[in-house]
Amino acid sequence: MEKRWSFLDAFEDNFRPLVVIELAKGAKEETIEWFTKRIVDKKANGGAQLLVKPLVTENEGENIYLVGASPLRLLLGAETVGLVKECNDNSMRTFTYSSRKTFKDFADDNHNFLTMAECQYIIKHELENLRAKDEKMIPGYPQAKLYPGKSIVRRLLTSGVLVQIFPLHDREELKKLRHSWYGRVKVGYQPLDDIRCYFGETIALYFGFLEYFTFALIPMAIIGIPYYVFAWEDYDKYVMFATFNLLWSTVILEVWKRICAIVTYRWGTLLMKRQFEEPRPGFHGVLGVNPVTGREEPVYSSIKRQLRIYLVSLPFVCLCLYFSLYVMMIYFDLEQWAMDYHEENQSNFSNLMLFVPSIIYAVVIEMMNRIYRYAAEFLTSWENHRLESSYQNHLVLKVLVFNFLNCFASLFYIAFVLFDMKLLRQSLATLLITSQILNQFAESLLPYWLQRRHKKKMKKRMCSLKTDTDLSLVEQVSLEKEMGTYFGTFDDYLELFLQFGYVSLFSCVYPLAAVFAVLNNITEIYSDALKMCRVYKRPFAEPTANIGVWQLAFETMSVISVVTNCILIGMSPQVDALFPDSKMDLVLTVALVEHLLLAIKFIMAFVIPDKPRDIQMKLAKLEFESLEALKQQ
């Protein structure tokens, strides 16, 4: 076996394993040989020109390979993926190999110029872009068809020959990161740049947003406390508080865009050009010609997809929404029953029972959200979207609509049908707190505990009692390949989105919501950090320049919250008392104020520039330079 790798011997001493490839246990010899050959083959021959080493584990039949690359290969790869790095003159520029000397910290012997996460991203990109030439199928698997230009890795994945590809942790770096991130008790910012170096921009941006959002909530929380403690609502009728909240939520969302631009400019992703999007792995269809690329690839009729969306997915989503409302009505029956019980018995126990329906309902909501999530994923995958981005958009839309209704329908019902402010306050508190506790538990603590148990078992089996950092490579890979996979920031953002809903939609009824949100987010930072560092496999870095569709989702929520808060204030008895003669005047005033606030919101969003002036200048400078360069040609 070793003989085949002899031509790699020259690299042996500086071979640094970056990415692990796990092939199926029974994978055929000829398939493995062909695949590894393609990985190490020269670019000119259609290979990826990377380095591969088999990993010999004690388990029989395991096919695990380590992938690395020479420093030169990585630099060329950085040019291919269009990485943007800082130059000696402090400007950010797209890296090219020929201009490498002008970049900060570049030296031919400095192998830290590219971070490990960047190297792994480059290798992932190169592996995914390893394309079939004239192969008609995967050698050894005649049923796994190939056609010129088809990504080999994707076909291997869908045909089950390839189990997984994942980047290796860097034990040393991870330890340092863990220490500076959550290892010591301290007040301060997260080490965002370190997180970005280790986990990539998408994850770092999530933590950046989480931190920013928590800080942004603090003013709301601070203003909310005296309202709760001293019952200030009697004096100013929550009007000040709600108005502040509404304008504040607009400001924080606009300011986030600016901060996001500053951060991603520093990281270089703001300037990164979008790559051409290939079909997602799950996409299937009849072989045809892509009208855009002119290449042969599976095509799937857009009409068929539309039919699936409108005739199956849409009715299904509506059915789920109906079911969710049905469950809500059951909850109200339970609530009524608990109240009757309390009136009959008037005991401490019956008083406690008052909270039970809300808690049960909160648990049911969480469960329904999770079950629906799987259904939505299945349906969206079945809709057979060609691009990952379009898949994501349809998934996000489905999940957002359902979760919004599922979480907030009962609150809307209580507020605007039952007009029961006391119940609203109680339900809001119960829902918010229960869902936060459940989330933290289900998301981080439970997996962490499972992971620890598993690790202990593994260690016992290996009969070694070494500490984490002393693990041999074989042991490290064996441990990591069994860890769970982190499926992206979707669920984390969703959680924040719903929390934002609890805080802003009914802010004038329960000012303490912001306080609980802040408390939750502080622990959330730690539990999410723990999750990233301890529970899951290292995820591949994904360059990104913004939080994407979530910005829109948060902005929509803040528009809806203007409407709900205005109505709630209009309904409060204190404001009611201001218009003793005419309810008509009250309603008209509320409507006028609502429209004014909405107008102010939109004007503010329009007037506040999305990028700070100095970032605008830097971008203008780069654009000017590229135009000048074009002229020179």
Residues that bind its own copies (CB under 8 A): 80, 275-276, 291-293, 563, 583-584, 587-588, 591, 595, 617, 620-621, 623-624, 627, 631
In angstroms, rounded to a whole number, what is the distance separating the alpha carbons of residues 138 and 158?
Answer: 12
Measured CA to CA, the distance from residue 82 to residue 50 in angstroms comes to 18
CB of 408 to its own copies, least distance (A): 16
Task: State the minimum distance, in angstroms, from the CB of residue 472 to its own copies.
Answer: 40
Output the six-digit token pair for 451.
């992971």
CA 308 to chain centre: 27
Sign of CA dihedral 404, 407, 408, 413: positive
User: CB of residue 629 vs its own copies: minimum separation in angstroms?
Assistant: 12
Distance CA 437, CA 75 (A): 46
Q: Which of 128, 122, 120 is nearest to 95 (CA)?
A: 122
Amino acid of residue 25: K
The nearest distance, CB 566 to its own copies, in angstroms, is 10
Q: For the packed helices 239-267 and 192-199, what is the interaxial angle rounded to 10 degrees?
A: 50
State the distance between the two ends of the chain, measured CA to CA, in whole angstroms: 52
In angstroms, rounded to a whole number, what is the distance separating the alpha carbons of residues 388 and 254?
A: 27
Rounded to 5°, the CA angle 392-396-397 comes to 120
SS3 assignment, position 94: strand
Shortest distance in whole angstroms from residue 104 CB to its own copies:
20
Are the beta carbons of 388 and 280 closer than 8 angstroms? yes
* Residue 500 beta carbon to its own copies: minimum distance, rounded to whole angstroms: 20
And the tokens for 464?
A: 């070694």
Q: How far is the CB of 184 from its own copies (least distance, A)?
A: 42
Crossing angle (nearest 10°) for helices 388-413 and 356-382: 160
**Is the Cβ of residue 461 or residue 621 nearer to its own copies in the bound state?**
621
Which positions ≥6 away from 273 have C-beta within 8 Å? 82, 94
Please check whether residue 506 is in contact with residue 411, taking contact to mean a CB–CB distance below 8 angstroms: yes
Encoding tokens for residue 203?
Answer: 């994850």
Q: Would you say 39 and 47 are in contact if contact means Cβ atoms under 8 Å apart?
A: yes
Residue located via tokens 């839309």: 397
- Specify the residue, 80 or 115, whose C-beta has the smaller distance to its own copies: 80
Minimum CB distance to its own copies, residue 112 (Å)? 27
Helix (H, G, I), strand (E, B) or coil at 107: coil
Please identify, using beta-carbon distances, which residue of 306 and 464 lies nearer to its own copies. Answer: 306
* Cα distances (Å, whole numbers) of residue 498 to 488, 512, 550: 18, 16, 12
Please tell me whether residue 53 adopts helix, strand or coil conformation.
Answer: strand
CB of 603 vs its own copies, minimal distance in Å: 11
| Shortest separation between residue 587's beta carbon and its own copies, angstroms | 5
Min dist CB 47 to its own copies, Å, is: 16
- Measured from the CB of residue 154, what is the shortest distance to its own copies in angstroms? 19
Q: Which of 263, 177, 267, 181 is nearest to 525 (CA)?
A: 181
- CA angle, 166 then 172 then 176, to 5°: 110
Classify residue 160 as left (phi > 0), alpha (psi -120 to 50) or beta: left
- What DSSP line would sit under 261-306, residue for residue? HHHHHHHTTTTPPPPPPPBPTT---EEEE-TTT--EEEE--HHHHH
Beta carbon of residue 237, minimum distance to its own copies (angstroms, whole number): 20
CB nearer its own copies, residue 373 or residue 601: 601
The per-residue b/e assignment along 58-97, b for 16 or more CB within 10 angstroms, e otherwise, is eeeebbbbbbbbbbebbbbbbbebbbbbbeeeeebbbbee
Identity of residue 600: I
501, containing H or E segment? helix 490-505
| 66 membership: H or E segment, kind and range | strand 63-68
In angstroms, give the least distance from the CB of 604 to its own copies: 15
Nearest approach in angstroms of CB 88 to its own copies is 16
CA-nearest of 486, 282, 292, 272 to 387 is 282
> Is the C-alpha dihedral spanning 177, 545, 252, 487 positive or negative?
negative
Q: How far is the CB of 220 from its own copies (least distance, A)?
A: 25
Q: Which is nearer to its own copies, 71 or 149 (CB)?
A: 149
